[in-house]
Structure 1
Amino acid sequence: MSPETQPSPAEERRSRLVGLVEQQGFCTVAELSKVLGVSEMTIRRDARKLVREGRMRSVHGGVTMLPAAAIDGTDFRARSGRHSGAKQAIARR
């Protein structure tokens, strides 16, 4: 492989970062920092770049590959309309 086609150390690190998050579903910034041997600030910068590219999601304390519905639950408006009869009966009591 010629030097022009080899990935940069940052690209390799980001690729490993994505691989770790895919494997586990969620990783903390501290965990990634330790495993990859770089500062937490470097992980945060890498994660920000990967989030902008749509390759992962940023959540409090770390990053994930899980879809929003798996983390946040379903939309409130969708949930609020379900079981309305039972909810009204509870409210009447």
Structure 2
Amino acid sequence: MDGSNVANLVGTGAALCSMTSFAPQIVKIWRERDASSVSLRMYVVTVTGFTLWIIYGALIGSWPVIGSNVVCLTMSATILALKWRFSRTGDVRA
């Protein structure tokens, strides 16, 4: 296996881990209808970061960077939306 294949394998593994990391949180929030333990600030920063990664991927013409970050953006934005939807007190600053 040459260096570029190893790099692609590592990149694929990293992308898969990143993309699937949000799934347990989404399932937990949805089942419990409670997102009070989710940090609003953290997910706002996360959504912003993935948006910037997508822009970066577009600027360098890297479809793997764009694709994996679109999935991550979608999943983290879902958590953010669930935070707003299931906020128990109406106060989503937490």
More strand by share: 1
* Greater Rg over alpha carbons, structure: 1
Q: What TM-score comes out, normalization by structure 1 length?
A: 0.27
More helix by share: 2
